[in-house]
């Protein structure tokens, strides 16, 4: 029998669980009304019972999803964000204040996200935004950049975002995450510094070892000098040439050790030091031999190119100093190194940077106004070890060598740095 309070109501509404014949339960909603006689006494009830199992389970699933989402956001160590079509944040949640120093409300009310991006990285961020904006698909874009924390610290963040295409006429928007990667970046920098120090130490040791070899060769020359029968012989000359080649390699490792970049060196600067050393060694008697260099600035070469090219210059300049000006009071040696597209290299104004020189052809010219090469000299089948070494190294560089005999001697070498 229904309770008195229930009978006083006009309508009946309740939710119940009903056990089915197979033993399973369903959720049902009961709607009905009381039928009363003239005296107001209930004599019957009519209504319907509706199965609401699916809708109830759907509501429970939504509630569970919301619970999981709240848990995810609350425990997210990064920032979840949504951006409008202009990449302005419309939603920020997660570790916003921990990473930036500003609250979500501040970003929504006044602080602009781009204002905290490090000025040096802003163009990189804008370039990434333009790339994904122009993409025709829902691509991801990942970028790492620096931001300025509220307390003045510089922090590194990793941002991953995706363009979301709408099916309606509304503009697309973007969503993604931002994580603090400062610790990883600092660790990478620390390891990079260790690697730089290690490479510096390697170059320093190689340079020292080569200088020891040069000193040993010098001691050997002194030993032979004390023997009259060997004085001024080819043996002494061979020792001296070997010493010069060792020094040319030692100078490269010295430049790499002193420079900030340990895999490439400023080759123009190296050539100046190498030729200065050769002139100090081979300037004979009162002969006034001048050096005219026209080297394109900021040419950076790696060791695989710099070492053979350095030995080639060493051989050509030392040969000119030894043989080109015999019985002459004065002479001139000219060295030109430039990009092939600007052969004149006028006033060293080419100003190419490292990036622009990759995959570029170069021209090295070493010439003198001396007595010239004898007519019997054959560049294809040289007799001297020095010229043989030069042609072998040019082949190693996959370059070409050309000899001109007009008004002295001119060697031109073309090679490409890939």
Specify if 219 maps to a domain: yes
Specify if 371 maps to a domain: yes
CATH number at residue 42: 2.10.70.100
Spatial CB neighbours of 111, under 8 Å, sequence gap ≥ 6: 102
- CA 45 to CA 32: how far, in whole Å? 7
Residue 356: CB atoms within 10 A of its CB come to: 12
Burial (Cβ within 10 Å: 0-12, 13-18, ≥19) of residue 307 = middle
235, 256, 277 — which closes off a domain? 256
Specify if 106 maps to a domain: yes
- Same-domain pairing of 201 and 350: no
Specify if 185 maps to a domain: no
- CA 335 to CA 290: how far, in whole Å? 11
- CA 112 to CA 127: how far, in whole Å? 18
pTM, two decimal places: 0.50
- Same-domain pairing of 378 and 361: yes
DSSP for 240-266 reads HHHHHHHHHHHHHHHHHHHSS-SSEEE
- Same-domain pairing of 267 and 399: yes
**CB-side neighbour CA atoms (13 Å) of 343:** 6
**Strand 173-180 and strand 154-164: pairing?**
antiparallel
Q: What angle do CA 112, 160, 149 make, to 5 degrees?
A: 40
Torsion of CA 134, 140, 145, 147, to 10 degrees: 90
Rg from Cα positions in the chain: 41
Please give the residue range of the domain that contains residue 141. Answer: 76-180
Edge-to-edge strands, sheet with 140-148? 89-94, 79-83, 173-180, 154-164, 140-148
Domain tally for the chain?
A: 4
3-state SS, one letter per residue, for 367-409:
EECCCCCCCCCCCCCCCCHHHHHHHHHHHHCCCEEEEECCCCE
- Same-domain pairing of 165 and 205: no
- Same-domain pairing of 244 and 296: no
pLDDT tens digit at each of 418 positions of the chain: 555 555 555 677 777 788 888 888 888 887 777 777 777 787 777 777 788 778 777 777 776 666 765 665 556 678 888 888 888 888 888 888 888 999 888 888 878 888 899 999 999 988 888 888 887 766 778 889 999 999 999 999 998 888 877 666 566 788 888 888 998 888 888 877 777 777 677 666 766 766 777 677 777 677 666 665 555 566 676 677 777 777 777 777 677 667 655 577 788 888 888 888 888 777 655 457 888 999 888 888 888 888 888 888 888 988 888 888 877 778 899 999 988 764 444 444 444 444 444 478 899 999 998 888 877 787 877 777 788 888 888 998 999 999 988 888 999 999 998 7
72, 103, 127 — which closes off a domain? 72
- Same-domain pairing of 15 and 96: no
Specify if 214 maps to a domain: yes
Going by C-alpha positions, the residue among 5, 159, 187, 193 that lies closest to residue 83 is: 159
- Same-domain pairing of 318 and 213: no
180, 205, 220 — which closes off a domain? 180
CATH number at residue 377: 3.30.565.10
pLDDT at 78: 82
- Same-domain pairing of 290 and 400: yes
Specify if 151 maps to a domain: yes
- Same-domain pairing of 153 and 211: no
Burial call 68-97: b when 16+ CB within 10 Å, e when fewer: eeeeeeeeeebbbbebeeebebeebbbbbb
Burial call 393-409: b when 16+ CB within 10 Å, e when fewer: bbeebebebeeeeeebb
Specify if 293 maps to a domain: yes
Torsion of CA 339, 345, 350, 353, to 10 degrees: 40
CATH number at residue 166: 3.30.450.20
- Same-domain pairing of 91 and 156: yes
- Same-domain pairing of 247 and 380: no
Specify if 156 maps to a domain: yes
pLDDT at 154: 93
- Same-domain pairing of 281 and 350: yes
């Amino acid at each position: 029998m229904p309770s008195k309070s229930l009978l006083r109501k006009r309508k009946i509404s309740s939710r119940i669980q009903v056990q089915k014949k197979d033993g399973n339960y369903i959720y049902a909603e009961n709607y009905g009304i009381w039928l009363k006689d003239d005296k107001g006494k209930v004599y019957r009830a009519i209504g319907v019972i509706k199965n609401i199992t699916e809708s109830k389970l759907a509501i429970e699933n939504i509630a569970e999803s919301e619970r999981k989402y709240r848990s995810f956001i609350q425990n997210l160590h990064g920032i979840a964000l949504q951006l409008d079509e202009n990449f302005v944040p419309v939603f920020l949640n997660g570790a916003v204040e921990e990473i930036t120093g500003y609250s979500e409300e501040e970003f929504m009310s006044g602080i602009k996200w781009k204002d905290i991006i490090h000025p040096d990285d802003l163009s990189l961020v804008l370039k990434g935004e333009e790339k994904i904006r122009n993409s025709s698909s829902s691509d991801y874009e990942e970028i790492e950049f620096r931001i300025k924390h509220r307390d003045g610290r510089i922090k590194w963040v990793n941002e991953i975002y995706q363009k979301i295409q709408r099916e309606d006429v509304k503009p697309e928007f973007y969503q993604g995450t931002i994580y603090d990667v400062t610790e990883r970046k600092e660790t990478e920098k620390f390891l990079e510094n260790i690697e730089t120090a290690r490479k510096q130490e390697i170059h320093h040791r190689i340079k020292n070892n080569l200088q020891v070899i040069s000193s040993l060769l010098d001691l050997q020359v002194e030993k032979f000098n004390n023997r009259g029968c060997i004085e001024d012989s080819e043996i002494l000359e061979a020792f001296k040439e070997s010493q010069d080649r060792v020094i040319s390699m030692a100078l490269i490792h010295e430049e790499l050790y002193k420079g900030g970049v340990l895999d490439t060196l400023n080759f123009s600067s190296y050539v100046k030091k190498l030729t200065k050393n050769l002139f100090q060694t081979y300037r004979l008697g009162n002969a006034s031999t001048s050096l005219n260099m026209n080297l394109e600035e900021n040419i950076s070469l790696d060791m695989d190119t710099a070492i053979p090219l350095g030995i080639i210059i060493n051989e050509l300049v030392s040969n000119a100093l030894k043989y080109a000006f015999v019985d002459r009071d004065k002479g001139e040696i000219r060295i030109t190194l430039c990009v092939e597209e600007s052969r004149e290299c006028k006033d060293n104004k080419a100003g190419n940077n490292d990036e622009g020189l990759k995959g570029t052809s170069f021209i090295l010219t070493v010439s003198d106004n001396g007595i010239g090469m004898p007519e019997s000299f054959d560049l294809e089948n040289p007799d001297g070890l020095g010229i043989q070494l030069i042609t072998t190294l040019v082949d190693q560089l996959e370059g070409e060598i050309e000899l001109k005999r007009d008004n002295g001697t001119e060697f031109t070498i073309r090679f490409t740095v890939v």
